[in-house]
Structure 1
Amino acid sequence: MEWYSLLPPIVAVVIVLWKKEVILALLLAIFTSELLLSEFGGGMIFHGAIGTFERIVDIFGSPGNTRILMFSLIIGAVLAYMRHSGGVTAMVEYVISKGLGKNKRQVAFMANFTGMAIFIESNLSVLTAGIVSRGLFDRYKMSRATLAYIIDSSAAPICILVLLNGWGAFVLGLLSNYEFEQSAAEVMWGTILLNFYPIIALMMVWYTAFTGNLHGPLARSQSSAVKEIEQKHEFEPTKARFMFVPLITMVVGMVGFMFWTGDGTLSAGSGSKSVLYATVSACLVAYIMMLSSKRFTHHQLVKIGFNGMGELLPLVTIVLLSLTLGASLKILGTGVYVAQIVGDSLPIFLIAPMLFLAGAFIAFSTGTSWGTFAILIPIGVPLIQELGLPPSFIIAAILGGGVFGDHCSPISDTTAVSAIASGCELLEHVKTQLPYALFGGALTLILYTLYGIAFL
């Protein structure tokens, strides 16, 4: 691996900061990666351009990637049906009438609780929390960026802490390839209290929800959002069931399909299959309910559905290009190179902090925390075995680093879905969440260093 494998993510970050354009940044980063993968010489630019298009095409060769893209489009139709039916507005009125959303604090905690309660799959978690809370946030003139921050910083942290989901099954599968004094499951469960970043991230969300205090770009986003929200037209309220029933269908369907795809074992289920099947089911239920109400014709519903998908097309394009860049960087070896520069000759107490930073950089550069785990766990485990380090402590640093980098990355699929779910622009979400993530990451780094000095 060579230093130049870092160029594509650097290009992506520079273009995003310079032009404030994510799609262009991703395309140029993929092109840079493909240039480096092509043989240097005549026609290199041509081969780099062709390689870029072919890499995008190859993404659809993965069933998991295709399901993610289909889900990201279909959810646009579901959201459109919920809005046009008047169900979202009615649901907001119902929640307020029952005293469940009487003030900003309750609304913020509701978004946080919903994001935490559905810990089966992170994308479903942020999606459900966003759908439930969008109308309430608008009602109390709370910015969509605040909603995006709350649900994004609730979903992934709780998924990596609870581990009774696909995340846990994936980590357990990686750990099962190695011999420890404890079982792989015991090592995994031991990471929970030592996984400092997601714990800090949740605590910051609770602080934000309880006090209502916003800092940095998020505070400015809140002040600029009030006028936009005041001018927004709402669909007339009808019945809350037009939102509630499709939503329940999606959540229950997700659980059911996780069991079904896992042959009766929840943690063994396929997240990509389950979330797609559940979303399609919710879309079908919403369509049937609206058609049965006789307020909409089939042609109107088809138009509403496709318009809803069209609204999400830019974000779906970002998800597609993010997956493409991740695939290209994997072949280029960017993640492995970053892991290797953590290097030898580190003092023992700095190993966990450095693995945390390496995990953060890999996840930030590639947009995938799962890919980060797959790269770093095979590097961290030999360190554990050779130096006699506590397994759960080192694995926790890797897991937390992946989530931290994911929270900072504009090319993470969870970041994009959080923006979709909240109705916030992607760059606005990244910009407003970044200071919180960086503060949590810095505090985590200090804690890992102090823990290493005290106990290693």
Structure 2
Amino acid sequence: MYADSALSLIVPLCVIALVFITKRVVLSLFIGIAIAGVMVTYHNATANGNSFNIGSLWDVLVYIYKSISSVFYSFNETGNIQWESSNLYVFGFLIILGIITQMIAYSGGIAAFVQWAKNKVNTAKGSEFLAFIAGIVIFIDDYFNALTVGQLTKSLNDANHSTRERLAYIIDSTSAPVCILMPISSWGAYILGIMATLGEGQDFFVLLSSIWGNYYAWFALFAVFLTIYWQINLPAMKKYKNRGVRDFLSTTQKEGSHIGLLIIPIFALIGFITLLILWTGYKESGKLDLLEMLANTQTGFSLFWGGLAALVLNLLISWKYLEKRAFFPIFKIGTYSMIPASFILVLAWSIGPVIKEDMQTGIYLANLTKVWLEGGVGYSSVAIPLATFIISAFIAFCTGTSWGTFAIMLPIGLNLATTNNVEFAFVMSAVLSGAVYGDHASPISDTTILSATGAGCSVESHFITQLPYVSTTALVAFVSFAIASYFNSILLGYGVGVLLLLGIFGLYKKAYA
């Protein structure tokens, strides 16, 4: 509809500006959907020779309703309701996670774990490194990573006086980068699925080759390491400390409680979900092949039923440590704690198709890039990786999805690389790097929302506090792509990038540690 017009940028840019101005993600997302409703209704009216009038407001309201309700259900070709089961499963999993957290707290598991761990990890740096390592180990899926790492490390982080915003940054900057660097993950399977449609062959080899040039993902992990090691708190991170957090859990240990009341449910959660991810992938693909299984897995189903199994196990092992009058507060507080994140996620998932399909923002930006580069404006072997990195970052930032950006930009990247005799694996690295950065930095990204949820802080404070860190990393990655392209040396790009990161974060350390 707006694929050929700069008007396609209005909705995402308005949402992002409103997030900065109002610090209210829900309001900003809703206004963005309403603006899109006005634009689509006006376009349809004028296309049919009609004028936009008072009666058109009803069409705008219908558009808003349909956009939001599409997260829950749609109508198939026969006119019957088709429930969006994957989304509903994710919402169910969020509630289960909130209940599990409260049950562990009420049983004394969190207090026991904190008392045990403080003898071994008694500093903010130590607890943050624990979250960092957990984020690297749990690489199979980003949703899974973002939500479980927070549950595992949040209480220890609180006890050691780290902030929820720092934890959210650590979670966000380990989940997606680790997944993109691991071809044996849901991300790797998805990318291979896109590449299979391009018909180039040797897809897995190309994906492996792209890993070594994925500067942003590697540098994001290194930046987190430096931030923890040097305890760097940039101004935004100092200003927003546990903003809006009210769920600090009791660390008063109950008589007889033990760390198994936390460790067993969390590891059961990881184990059950991992098994279901593999089982649903096998069931759908019919092949005992890991990549095929990951490509066809049903993540929402696996999260919900794996979480439910962990909840039942948690109830069984906690039963004798819980007072009967505690069950209602456990379920009530656990459910209420996840409602704000669920609201934001509903609106983020609602506006995604609006920006992608109605506004066609990604297509507009991608076509602009393609025309500019193929037209020879400033073309060189350096320009293609840099341009695809920037445009991929901007598309992901505006749309809130790295996966959607992959689908749009990888075919364009292949075409540009083939036409201009540039190595596709390196252009692919630039696309993946840019998309992951844009997804990290975007306030409307589902991984931004879920990382904040896992850490237990507000989405607004997480977005504002992590932006300077990830943007610094992206700038260094951009320089590395330029160096590597110009000198035809990925290794030199790493050398310059690492030195830059050490230098910049070293300056941050002096000023803000």
TM-score range, shorter chain: over 0.9
How far did residue 283 of structure 1 move? 1.8
What is the DSSP-based 3-state SS (H/G/I as helix, E as strand, rest coil) of the residue aligned with 2:213?
Answer: coil
CA distance in 2 between partners of 1:338 and 1:66 (Å): 32
Deviations 1:326-373, CA, capped at 9 Å, x for gaps: 011122211111211213343131111111111111111121111111
The residue aligned with 1:334 is: 361
Aligned equivalent of 2:508: none
- 1:374-405 deviation per Cα after TM superposition (whole angstroms, max 9, x unaligned): 11112212112222221111111111111101
- Measured after TM superposition, the shift of residue 69 of structure 1 is 2.2
Q: Residues of 2 paired with 1:195 and 1:126: CA distance?
A: 21
Supply the distance in 1 between the matched residues of 2:383 and 2:367 (Cα, whole angstroms): 15
Q: Could you say which residue in structure 1 is the equivalent of 2:155? A: 135
Kept in 2: contact 1:287–1:301 (CA 8 A): no
1:160 match: 180
> Which deviations, in whole Å up to 9, do the C-alpha atoms of 1:279-307 show, x marking residues without a partner?
2222222223333x16333x742441232
Is it true that 1:236 corresponds to 2:234 in the alignment? Answer: no
- 8 Å CA contact 2:110, 2:251 repeated in 1: no
2:479 paired with 1:446:
yes
Task: Return the offset for 1:233.
Answer: 4.9
Aligned to 1:51: 63
Alignment match, 1:36: 39
**Aligned pair partner of 1:282 in 296, 310, 319:** 310
Partner of 2:327: 301
Displacement of 1:50: 1.5
Which runs of structure 2 are paired with 1:77-226 in the superposition (5 Å)? 77-97=99-119, 99=120, 101-180=121-200, 183-222=202-241
Question: How high is the TM-score relative to the length of structure 1?
Answer: 0.93
Is contact 2:26–2:347 with CA below 8 Å preserved after alignment?
Answer: yes
d(CA) in 2 for partners of 1:232, 1:81: 11
CA distance in 2, matches of 1:296, 1:362: 51
1:17 shift after superposition: 1.8
Contact 1:166 1:270 in 2 (8 A): no
Matches within 5 A, 1:383-422: 383-422=416-455
CA distance in 2, matches of 1:311, 1:232: 12
The amino acid of 1:430's aligned partner reads F
Percentage of identical aligned residues: 28
Write the letter of the residue equivalent to 1:104.
Answer: A
Q: 2:268 aligns with which of 229, 249, 271?
A: 249
Mapped contact 1:87–1:239 kept (Cα < 8 A): yes
Which amino acid in structure 2 is aligned with residue 368 of structure 1?
T
Larger Rg: 2
The alpha-carbon deviation at position 243 of structure 1 amounts to 1.3
The CA distance in 1 between the partners of 2:89 and 2:415, in whole Å, is 35
CA shift for structure 1 position 37: 2.1
Moved more, 394-403 or 44-53: 44-53
Q: Give deviations 1:24-75, integer Å, cap 9, x for gaps.
A: 1000101112222222323333211221111111111333222222222222
CA distance in 1, matches of 2:391, 2:401: 13
Q: Is the 8 A contact 2:399 2:444 kept in 1?
A: yes
Partner of 2:493: none
Separation of aligned partners in 2, 1:83 and 1:410: 30
Deviations 1:246-265 (A, max 9, x none): 11111111221121011143
Q: Which stretches in structure 2 are left out of the alignment for 5+ residues?
A: 46-51, 74-83, 283-287, 374-378, 490-513
Residue pair 2:114, 2:251 contacting (<8 A) in 1 also: no
In the alignment, the residues of structure 1 paired with residue 88 and residue 470 of structure 2 have an alpha-carbon distance, to the nearest angstrom, of 29
Equivalent residue in structure 2 for 1:6, among 4, 9, 17: 9
Question: Does the Cα contact within 8 Å between 2:164 and 2:455 map onto a contact in 1?
Answer: yes
**Cα distance in 1, alignment partners of residues 24 and 363 from structure 2:** 28
Distance in 1 of aligned mates of 2:203 and 2:407: 15
Given candidates 26, 30, 54, the residue that maps to 1:27 is 30
Q: How far apart are the structure 2 equivalents of 1:88 and 1:163?
A: 34
Cα shift readout 1:102-147 (whole Å, capped 9, x = no counterpart): 3232211111000110001112212222112111111121111111
Query: What's the CA shift string for 1:416-455, capped at 9, x where partnerless?
Result: 1111111111111111100011111111111112222222
Q: Which amino acid aligns with 1:51?
A: Y
- Among 95, 103, 119, the alignment partner of 1:73 is 95
**Contact 2:106 2:326 survives alignment (8 Å):** no
Distance 2:396 2:303 in 1: 23
Residue among 343, 348, 351 paired with 1:322: 348
Q: Give the alignment partner of residue 311 of structure 1, picking from 324, 331, 337.
A: 337
Q: Which runs of 5+ in 1 are unaligned?
A: none
Scaled by the length of structure 2, the TM-score of the pair is 0.83
Letter in 1 for 2:98: G
Deviation at 1:148, TM superposition (A): 0.8
Amino acid in structure 2 at the alignment position of 1:447: S
AA matched with 1:14: A
Q: Which amino acid aligns with 2:481?
A: Y
Rounded to whole Å, the distance in 2 between the matches of 1:16 and 1:294 is 43
User: 1:232: how far off?
Assistant: 7.4
- Match of residue 267 from structure 1: 294
**Alpha carbons 1:72, 1:417 under 8 Å: kept:** no
Give 1:270's aligned amino acid: Q
Which letter does structure 1 place at the counterpart of 2:208?
W
